[in-house]
Amino acid sequence: MVRRLGPLGFGVALALSLAGCTLVSYTPKELVLSQRYGLVALDAVELARITQDGLEVVEFRFLASPYAPRDLYDLGEKLKTQLKARGFEERCQTYHLPLFGGGQYTLRMARGGEGVGLFLKPLAQPQAYRLEVGPASPNPPLDCPAR
């Protein structure tokens, strides 16, 4: 036997079913990696920071989060995307696989006469990285050094 619910019964049934399913609002935390170039990482914790002669060096690790990058290359590409959004164009990039000891990702970009260099490498602990960001020539040599 099928019983039809009236408007009040339907409202009560809907309220009871939604009470068991609550939406959780999650706002990721932003860690500023570079003040000068506006680079950020979501759901990351700062381990150390040094700023010297225009060079910003920050060591950080990602929390267990959907915003954490898959690997070193993925993180480098996310930083590149942030710089592109600020009007920088890629000049060169190198990526060395972490086969024996650790990989590295180097990126040079330019916007007009302004250049920026990034050097990124993994640290010993999981999901932890060291990023060096600083001004560089907008016309890098072929071997693509970070600075």
Q: What string of pLDDT tens digits covers the 147 residues of the chain?
A: 555 655 555 555 555 555 555 556 778 999 999 999 999 999 999 999 999 999 999 999 999 999 999 999 999 999 999 999 999 999 999 998 766 667 899 999 999 999 999 999 999 999 999 999 999 999 998 888 888
C-alpha span between 59 and 46 (Å, rounded) = 6
**Bridge partner residues of 49 (DSSP):** 58
Is-contact 42 32, C-beta < 8 A? Answer: no
Contacts of 125 (CB under 8 A, 6+ apart): 61
**Bridge partner residues of 61 (DSSP):** 45, 128
Q: Is the pTM of this model over 0.85?
A: no
Place of tokens 């339907």: 10
